[in-house]
A = this chain, B = another copy of it.
């Protein structure tokens, strides 16, 4: 660990964040750049002293805040003056009422797409990185880092420069050219690792423990407890944009599973704070068949997740050994939801379905959630008479290869009316 947290570690000011607590044994630790319980090695998460007693005042404070995640600063591990600091300020993306898609899928209770392609680097990663940036600032780190298969590398590279950090991000050396360009263009260091994503991850863990990593904040390793909290803002925004109402059903993609667990955490906080009515909601998880360890465990009735070797076009979800898998299973079962998966062909079909109904061009992960939503409706698992929210976490421009083979010109003609008439495209 580059920074040791002890009894003498000075208190950092991260708003309502009070401590880190172990999700397994409940042991608490002072706020610091640690991520595993020193007692039981369980994952740590942020524990809060949340504002209470005046939901109406809190709601008004939020509504008067900026059009980004900092409107929820009273519920996040960030300094109270966070909105004044240099940050990419992601969030408050569109919640699109998807009436055309609803008609195609037979949803009558209201269908919404939470479209995170509107974030600064066009994926939900901007949310989690924004929080990690503020934690890194509080802990005195000077370099931001991460292991990534693409989206995160771009998000960290962009956020670091804006916020005044150096950056050095690590990727497998054989990523698609487009993702490499996006990760490199911000000018920080970009290191290709000769190996796969697991090799990159292992290398980063080594680096954190070495003096070479002194002063480095790895957003998804030693800053992970803070980073993860960024996903709570999806829950807050969805409810606020529904008029401070819980949706009945939410469909969420699963990579590590962190996003799904944090959205559940966010919904529970809103209930506890009195910002939404306390009523049941169901959480559904979506995976690609080629990397479906959580879905497989759900279907088999297991509590633990057996790792898989990923083989899917949904690369941003291709984590074969998802750290939060067991928590996802628990949430899906506890809320009456489910976890399911679709194959790559269904992913492509779902990307195109969303594009041709709502004009939203999603990345493969968005195809996974829309595809699984369709499947769950057809199987009678998801109730079409209830208010349903589907997440699109990324942008189709980053995964063009998925749809390129089946998305081309209807016709190619010479520039005259006879040629156009012959092409049979007149209405």
Residues of B within 8 A of A360 (CB): 120, 158
In Å, the complex CA distance between A415 and B196 comes to 10
Which of A20-28, A305-313, A405-413 lies on the face that meets chain B?
A405-413
A67 beta carbon closer than 8 Å to chain B? yes
B212 touches A417 (CB 8 A): yes
Which of A162-170, A293-301, A337-345 lies on the face that meets chain B?
A162-170
A352 beta carbon closer than 8 Å to chain B? yes
B86 touches A181 (CB 8 A): no
B194 touches A409 (CB 8 A): no
A333 beta carbon closer than 8 Å to chain B? no
In Å, the complex CA distance between A215 and B426 comes to 11
B161 touches A191 (CB 8 A): no
Out of B118, B162, B212, B351, name the residue touching A420 (CB < 8 Å): B212
A226 beta carbon closer than 8 Å to chain B? no
CB distance from A349 to the nearest CB of B (A): 12
A187 touches B415 (CB 8 A): no
A375 beta carbon closer than 8 Å to chain B? no
Chain A interface, DSSP helix/strand/loop, else mixed? mixed
Copies in the complex: 2
Out of B86, B180, B214, B412, name the residue touching A191 (CB < 8 Å): B412
**A154-198 interface bits toward B, Cβ cutoff 8 Å, 1 = contact, 0 = none:** 100111111010101001010001101110111111111111000
A122 beta carbon closer than 8 Å to chain B? yes
A261 beta carbon closer than 8 Å to chain B? no
**A137-149 interface bits toward B, Cβ cutoff 8 Å, 1 = contact, 0 = none:** 0000011000000
A358 beta carbon closer than 8 Å to chain B? yes
Residues of B within 8 A of A395 (CB): 122, 397
- Which residues in window 360-409 of A have CB below 8 A to B? 360-361, 395-398, 400, 403-404, 407-409
Out of B173, B358, B398, B426, name the residue touching A212 (CB < 8 Å): B426
A143 touches B427 (CB 8 A): yes
Out of B121, B206, B410, name the residue touching A189 (CB < 8 Å): B410
B396 touches A185 (CB 8 A): yes
A41 beta carbon closer than 8 Å to chain B? no
A158 touches B425 (CB 8 A): no
A89 beta carbon closer than 8 Å to chain B? yes
CB distance from A362 to the nearest CB of B (A): 10
CB distance from A409 to the nearest CB of B (A): 4
**A94-129 interface bits toward B, Cβ cutoff 8 Å, 1 = contact, 0 = none:** 100001100000000000000000101110000000
With A86-B100, A191-B410 known to touch, is A186 a contact of B361 (CB < 8 Å)? yes
Residues of B within 8 A of A193 (CB): 412-415
A88 beta carbon closer than 8 Å to chain B? yes
In Å, the complex CA distance between A81 and B194 comes to 57
In Å, the complex CA distance between A421 and B359 comes to 48
CB distance from A47 to the nearest CB of B (A): 31
Residues of B within 8 A of A400 (CB): 177-178, 181-182
Residues of B within 8 A of A421 (CB): 212
In the complex, what residue of chain B is closest to A203 when comparing beta carbons? B415
A355 beta carbon closer than 8 Å to chain B? yes
Residues of B within 8 A of A29 (CB): none
- Which residues in window 198-223 of A have CB below 8 A to B? 199-200, 202-203, 206-207, 210, 212, 214-216
B409 touches A184 (CB 8 A): yes
A189 touches B425 (CB 8 A): yes
A236 beta carbon closer than 8 Å to chain B? no
A161 touches B359 (CB 8 A): yes
A164 touches B100 (CB 8 A): yes
CB distance from A341 to the nearest CB of B (A): 23
Residues of A participating in the B interface, judged by any CB pair closer than 8 Å: 67, 86, 88-89, 92, 94, 99-100, 118, 120-122, 142-143, 154, 157-162, 164, 166, 168, 171, 173, 177-178, 180-182, 184-195, 199-200, 202-203, 206-207, 210, 212, 214-216, 351-352, 355-361, 395-398, 400, 403-404, 407-417, 420-421, 423, 425-427
- Complex A-B: 6 CB contacts under 8 Å: A161-B355, A161-B359, A193-B412, A200-B415, A212-B417, A212-B420
